[in-house]
Structure 1
Amino acid sequence: MIRVLFPTGLTSLATQSGVGEAIRHQQWAVRSLGHEVVTNPFGPFDVIHLNTPFPDTPLLALWARLRRRPVLVWAHSTEEDFRDSFTGANRLAGAFRRWIASIYRLGDAVVTPTPYARSIITRPAYGIRTTIHVLSNGVDTGFFRPDPTARNRLRGALGLEPDAAVVVSVGLQMVRKGILDWVAAARRMPEVHFLWYGQTDPRLVTRDVATAVSTAPPNCHFPGYVAKEVLRDAYCGADAFCFLTKEETEGIVLLEALACGAPVIVRDIPIYRDWLPDGQVTHMVRGHGEAFVSDVERSVRDLLAGRLPDLTAAGRCAAEELDVRRVAEQLDRIYRTEGIGARR
């Protein structure tokens, strides 16, 4: 039995983010393989998983090296997905890339969720010379699965009519996640209810996002961070999942929506173009500025009117390929490849 260290420390700051969910998936995978999750860096451990770009991460990597324990570093972040996130992020993006690259280089091996993410961190600017493994963050398709009864439950919880049209998105409230375009599209469709789940510390929200949220039309709803059972009802009960993100290294919430059988509208960005192609797994929207918002409006209206093909079965299949059980098997292969085992 391998003792896998997931140090707490500053990681608790990422609890409500995609990285926090990725850590929970890793812990599930470790336990499903019959190994033990430990959280105390001063106790016994056989390998450390590092997932966050916080100041304590390099110290934890050095501590593991002093104890001659292998270090696996997860590369969830890139310079590209740091941009358009928090106040001052664009000015700090270059420095952030140098910082995370220095953390990634501390790993005996690096793990990143998609081939697209690997293509970014293999650039010379990151200077990574160790092995880079691709391992999806995964999705629990046993929990996130279609449920026809969720439609009425979602609308009842929100006090909406049973036949109300509902479009859902999930994520931190930031420009990169597409919230400005999302609010603009909602403004054009007052008869459709737009729900955005997830929130960001108000101290980090950029001024344009704060203004967009505070002046959003009445058909925009912001329930905040909710329990995963509530989120599952939102995916299953929505008429569409509208994910307008501009950059991702994977996108766990997208996998969850696909697993629940939600029709997905997504921005046409490189990571999804080949993996979840337009007209086969997702409905993609394109353009910039007002043209982009118009394409979102057209796609939502066409989807609600039944003028777009039903791709939900293909979406479910795409999610099943990345089920956490399969991810656990791949994690086990990484352990064996890296020679990670129990220490006495």
Structure 2
Amino acid sequence: MFQRSRQARRPRRRGGLRSIQQDRRPQEAPSRRGPGESPDAPDPLDAPGGRRLRVLMPTGLASLARESGIGAAIRHQRQAVQSLGHDVVTTPLAPFDVVHLNTPFPDTALLAHWARLCRRPVLMWAHSTEEDFRDSFPGANAIAPWFRRWIAHLYRLGDHVLTPSAYAKSLISRPAYGIRAPISVLSNGVDTTFFRPDLSARARLRETLGLPQEAPVVVSVGMQLVRKGIVDWVEVARRMPEVTFVWFGRTDERLLTAAVRQALRDAPANCRFPGYVGAQQLREAYCGADAFCFLTKEETEGIVLWEALACGAPTLVRAIPIYQQMVPDGVLTHQVAGDDPDFPRRAAEHLRALLDGQLPDLTAAGRSAAEEVDLGAVAQQLQQIYAAAGVRTHLRRRGRRRPGGIGRR
């Protein structure tokens, strides 16, 4: 009786088999964009597996790195992911298809294990190395070998490891890191539509600084660390009193080393330290300055260098291995070698020659190089890495909820 009742209520298809066959004619595909999205917005089905991915980029302790290069790299990743039409998820308790992990903080290990429990791929970014940890904070050199063991442990938790340069890949590929997962080079990139030359910025920068329009200005950007070259930078400024030197960026006073404290305390009057500023102010500085002087001693890439080159700033850097390869001397940048007591004098001589127009103009070549690592190009490479790492959309299905939004398979 019950079965007959269910069959009686089952709706019948009119027209029989012929009607079914006629209904199989091609139909116009429905719109795949959400309400309010412009026709030019990225199509969410132009993605691995043809569906919009949910990319977990957890906030957590990553917020502590907001003013650092890692913080900028995370913001660039978010922009790249969204440009591909994917969704960015910030809490690990929400459904996600892949996780991006960037920081060396303790919650990175927990998040990697959580993603494994949820059976989701872990993309681990290797921004840090033992080499660029040295000369950073008080006691860093003493614990650098232990720091390398810690980050090596984190990197080994990744299903796919990404690092921003070939130089950085050569460091983390050493046996001491013990990484067996695939390692891909993916630049942190630069938004060349935002960071672009603007000749009118020169006047605005000098007005902001309270300087005459003809005053020469040299800028640098970064945390106030020995590794970033701030001690040498102050000494270069001391040898060029006619030039105003401006350092954008800061470090918590509790984390300053004695050498940096002394350099900041004894800095000459032509040095200025505005602290951490936003992207618009940085763009004004790059575009309005006469030169970008970046004397860092160790980097895995250096986003600020790409920003300066994208803005057409004449650039002087220390001739460290990564920059000898990535932005060669006399081709994309001007470089000064060494880390000896006489280095500030040689750097000042090169910088004065650059300001006086005695060195070749490399700004057009620098801009072209920055365009090659534009975030649009980086996003397309990221899409390819998703495919290589087996990232796919996990459909929501009815049934008992499981970690990471997993239903039955």
Partner in structure 2 of residue 164 of structure 1: 215
Which stretches of structure 1, 4 residues or longer, exceed 3 Å deviation after superposition? none
Q: Deviations over 1:222-276 (max 9, x none)?
A: 0100011010000001110000000000000000000000000000000010221
- Report the alpha carbon displacement of residue 291 of structure 1 after superposing the two structures with TM: 2.1
Q: Deviations over 1:274-321 (max 9, x none)?
A: 221111110001233332111111111101111011000000011000
Matched length: 344
Letter in 1 for 2:379: A
Structure 2 residue aligned with 1:102, among 133, 143, 153?
153
| 1:91 and 2:172 correspond | no
Structure 1 residue aligned with 2:61, among 1, 5, 10?
10
> What is the SS of the residue equivalent to 1:64?
helix
Distance across 2 between alignment mates of 1:288 and 1:57: 34
Distance across 2 between alignment mates of 1:87 and 1:253: 24
Structure 1 residue aligned with 2:348, among 297, 301, 308?
297
| 1:255 and 2:309 correspond | no
Q: Percent identity?
A: 67
| 1:327 and 2:386 correspond | no
Structure 1 residue aligned with 2:200, among 149, 156, 166?
149
Report which of the two structures shows the higher radius of gyration computed on alpha carbons.
Answer: 2
TM value normalised by structure 1: 0.99
> What is the SS of the residue equivalent to 2:147?
helix
Letter in 2 for 1:20: G
Partner in structure 1 of residue 30 of structure 2: none
Contact between 1:118 and 1:132, CA under 8 Å: does it hold in 2?
yes
| 1:199 and 2:250 correspond | yes
- Report the alpha carbon displacement of residue 218 of structure 1 after superposing the two structures with TM: 0.4
Distance across 2 between alignment mates of 1:308 and 1:291: 21
Q: Which moved more, 1:164-173 or 1:284-293?
A: 284-293
Partner in structure 1 of residue 277 of structure 2: 226
**Alignment RMSD, CA only?**
0.6
Partner in structure 2 of residue 176 of structure 1: 227
> What is the SS of the residue equivalent to 2:259?
helix
> What is the SS of the residue equivalent to 1:169?
strand
- Report the alpha carbon displacement of residue 70 of structure 1 after superposing the two structures with TM: 0.6
Distance across 2 between alignment mates of 1:278 and 1:246: 16
| 1:48 and 2:99 correspond | yes
Partner in structure 2 of residue 269 of structure 1: 320
Structure 1 residue aligned with 2:241, among 190, 201, 205?
190
Letter in 1 for 2:250: Q
Contact between 1:235 and 1:257, CA under 8 Å: does it hold in 2?
yes
Contact between 1:74 and 1:111, CA under 8 Å: does it hold in 2?
yes
TM value normalised by structure 2: 0.84
> What is the SS of the residue equivalent to 1:175?
coil
Letter in 1 for 2:120: R
Letter in 1 for 2:252: D
Q: Deviations over 1:194-235 (max 9, x none)?
A: 000000011111011011011100000001000110100000
Partner in structure 2 of residue 61 of structure 1: 112
> What is the SS of the residue equivalent to 1:133?
strand
Q: Which runs of 5+ in 1 are unaligned?
A: none
Structure 2 residue aligned with 1:20, among 33, 48, 71?
71
| 1:130 and 2:171 correspond | no
Structure 2 residue aligned with 1:311, among 362, 376, 379?
362
Q: Which runs of 5+ in 2 are unaligned?
A: 1-51, 396-409
Distance across 1 between alignment mates of 2:392 and 2:294: 40
Letter in 2 for 1:310: D
